[in-house]
Amino acid sequence: MSQSPANQRVIIDTDPGLDDAVAILFALACGQFDIVGLTSVAGNIGIEASTRNSLRLLAAMGRSDIPVITGAAKPLRRAGAELVSIHGEDGLGGLALPQPDRAAGSGAVAWMAEQLNAAPAKSLDILALGPLTNLALLVQDHPGAATRIGRVIAMGGAVDEPGNIGARSEYNLATDPEAARIVVTAGLDLTLVPLDVTRRVRVGPAQLAALRGTLAGNLCAEIIALYFGNGRESRPLHDPCVMLLALAPELFGVDQMALQVDAGDGPEAGALERAEGAPPTKVAMRVDAPGAIALLAQGLRG
Ligand code: RIB
Ligand code: CA
């Protein structure tokens, strides 16, 4: 399936969210990730729904063995902005899923630090699908544990592509620019997956049939159909690109950039800016979109 080692140990930090849900279902179905836990963060939807949806997705897949730990209820400094118009009042477009079959844990950031301190250094990756609030708090409050992180692969930002919040700002980074600035300048092994590639990995009605055939695939096809809302013929699969890059980096073209994040109070807060002297950040700028969609379909088949 890919050139990366199987059974990558990962923490998934997420604000599910319809595209987060596809990413999580793919990670569960493809059999290539050892998912240590899901940490919820406020973003697309508030922290209660983000946590509940994480539990519901795991219950639907019979994976109540995977812990869900509640994370940040709001950005570091700003008010959040939920995307109900895209993800629906419940954050999953009303998708029929089991109700949570257990309670979530609390204290995601301390839990992340515990996992990192207990694991061999650099053996545990973080796949970040929402605002970077939890990750920034980990860097700030648990710097020793943060140095033990393997890869951080985060969906966020826009480089040459227009933003989806401001002209140049993307939702995850714009929701918590202070957190994004901390993470981008922390010297982590960070790969950003920006709109420059995620907008090219699109699924429309014609591709849905190829996803169906398994529980995960059927759920993803249903989710993507819900995601089409507002009559759009296709939707970009932003967050699944994080898992696809973790699994098959050969499908992506990654450049090194010295970046900073605009953390001002203007309309472009959260935008990525070139900044001489900033630590190098890997940024996925090119993608084999047909190959990525084929891998998505293959992984959903298990
Ligand atoms: O800009 C896309 C990102 O914002 C995705 O993570 C999506 O889930 C939303 O959170
Ligand atoms: Ca997300």
Tens of pLDDT, residues 48-60:
999 999 999 999 9
Q: Is a pLDDT exceeding 90 seen at residue 1?
A: no
CB of 227 sitting under 6 A from ligand 1? no
Does some domain include residue 142?
A: yes
Tally of domains in the chain: 1
* pLDDT above 70 as % of the chain: 97
Q: Which of 175, 59, 53, 144 is nearest to 154 (CA)?
A: 175
**Mean pLDDT score, 26-33:** 97
Domain of 252: which CATH number?
3.90.245.10
118 C-alpha vs ligand 1 centroid, how far in Å?
A: 30
Active site residue 142: no
Which ligand minimizes its atom distance to the CA of 87? 1
From 15, 87, 200, mutation site for ligand 1 pocket: most ligand atoms within 8 A of C-beta: 15
CA distance 84 to 81: 9
Q: Is a pLDDT exceeding 90 seen at residue 13?
A: yes
pTM: 0.96
C-alpha 266: how far from chain center: 25
Structural domain boundaries, residue 50: 15-300
Does some domain include residue 48?
A: yes
CA distance 156 to 21: 17
Chain segment 102-158, per-residue pLDDT in tens: 999 999 999 999 999 999 999 999 999 999 999 999 999 999 999 999 999 999 999
147 C-alpha vs ligand 1 centroid, how far in Å?
A: 26
Does some domain include residue 6?
A: no
pLDDT band at 89 (very low <50, low <70, confident <90, very high): confident
CB of 235 sitting under 6 A from ligand 1? no
49 C-alpha vs ligand 2 centroid, how far in Å?
A: 13
Does some domain include residue 182?
A: yes
Does some domain include residue 1?
A: no
CA distance 214 to 300: 7
Does some domain include residue 47?
A: yes
pLDDT confidence of residue 138:
98
Which ligand minimizes its atom distance to the CA of 14? 2
Q: Is a pLDDT exceeding 70 seen at residue 231?
A: no
